[in-house]
Structure 1
Amino acid sequence: MPSDTTDDLLATRYGRRPRPDRPWYRRPLPVAAAVLGAVLVLAYGVWVAVWQTQGPAYTVISHSVLDDGTAQLRFAVAREPGTAVQCTVHALDSSSAEVGLLRVDVPAGPEREVQREVRLRTTSRAVTVQVESCVAVDG
């Protein structure tokens, strides 16, 4: 049985289509789809990188749990000089439940980096104290 009829018979039986004469990279639709996908992924990566570098940054220097109702945190905030910042600090217990919350205002000033040390009152014993976020505020 010749190969041509076998291919035709299999194509009829299983619904196979004959292979195109051109390789995939010579067809415009797959190439356009691949280029568009690459551009979208690159644009998303640039957007995420730019978004994450906007606004004030913070670094936790140290934290300590003083007793069942008090915790302490020392942190640094980097911001543009002249920008006022408000940071949210929270204390967590051993099950990661929030047991203390404090908003810390860092007034505008000429310094790029400012350090703060705060004490938090907690509802039960904390195991860690963290800066949740810092945002620039007007004023």
Structure 2
Amino acid sequence: MPLPRPAPGTGRWWVVGIVGIGLASALAVWLGLANSVGRVTWVDTGYKVVDDRSVRVEFDVHRPSGEAVTCQVNALDQSFGVVGTLEVRVPASSEKSVHQVVVVRTAARAVTGTVKTCDPS
């Protein structure tokens, strides 16, 4: 079964539409990369509730080499309320990725620990 042909005179609009979609896609990729390259990012890799007053949090920090970073680590209770917080300074080094393990002291029993933010110092 042959494919239907576009109406005469509409081929130009197909070309304009395809070029427009291509340019919009390229712009979206460029903006995404421009906003993420060279920025500080982090990944929570684990946590363990040690006891009623502390939780151990593990995370990786990815940053430009030679840049110091300060991260805020929170311990949360079962209703996601903050029961403990700790500021962790990750010193500058030549490594772009650094693994951190910290213990957050809590006011009540925590059920999880997570990194809230990491910003350049």
Range of TM-score over shorter length: 0.7 to 0.9
Pair 35,112 (structure 1): closer, same or farther in 2 beyond 3 Å: closer
The equivalent position to 2:33 in structure 1, one of 49, 53, 67, is 49
Q: Deviations over 1:32-88 (max 9, x none)?
A: 345324312331133213423432333434311122232111223233332101112
Pair 49,111 (structure 1): closer, same or farther in 2 beyond 3 Å: closer
Give the C-alpha shift of residue 106 in structure 1: 1.0
Contact 2:49–2:55 (Cα < 8 Å) also in 1 = yes
Q: Which residue of 1 aligns with 2:4?
A: none
SS of 2:26's equivalent in the other structure is helix
The equivalent position to 1:114 in structure 2, one of 93, 98, 112, is 98
- Distance in 1 (CA, whole Å) between partners of 2:52 and 2:9 is 70
Q: Which residue of 1 aligns with 2:75?
A: 91
Consecutive unaligned residues in structure 2, runs of 5 or more: 1-6
Residue 89 of structure 1 aligns to which amino acid in structure 2?
V
Residue 108 of structure 1 aligns to which amino acid in structure 2?
A
User: Of Structure 1 and Structure 2, which has the larger fraction of its residues in helix?
Assistant: 1
Q: Does 1:22 align with 2:8?
A: yes
Greater radius of gyration (CA): 1
Find runs of 4+ consecutive structure 1 residues off by over 6 angstroms: none
For normalisation by structure 1, the TM-score amounts to: 0.64
Pair 105,35 (structure 1): closer, same or farther in 2 beyond 3 Å: same
Q: Work out which structure has the larger RCO, using CA pairs closer than 8 Å and 6 or more positions apart in sequence.
A: 2
The equivalent position to 1:72 in structure 2, one of 36, 41, 56, is 56
SS of 2:79's equivalent in the other structure is coil
Residue 23 of structure 2 aligns to which amino acid in structure 1?
V
Residue 91 of structure 2 aligns to which amino acid in structure 1?
P
Consecutive unaligned residues in structure 1, runs of 5 or more: 1-20
* Aligned Cα root-mean-square deviation (Å): 2.7
Pair 40,122 (structure 1): closer, same or farther in 2 beyond 3 Å: same
SS of 1:47's equivalent in the other structure is helix
SS of 2:19's equivalent in the other structure is helix
The count of residues paired between Structure 1 and Structure 2 equals: 116
User: Of Structure 1 and Structure 2, which has the larger fraction of its residues in strand?
Assistant: 2
* Residue range with higher mean Cα deviation, 77-86 or 106-115: 106-115
Q: Deviations over 1:68-124 (max 9, x none)?
A: 232111223233332101112122222333332222111212333333322212233
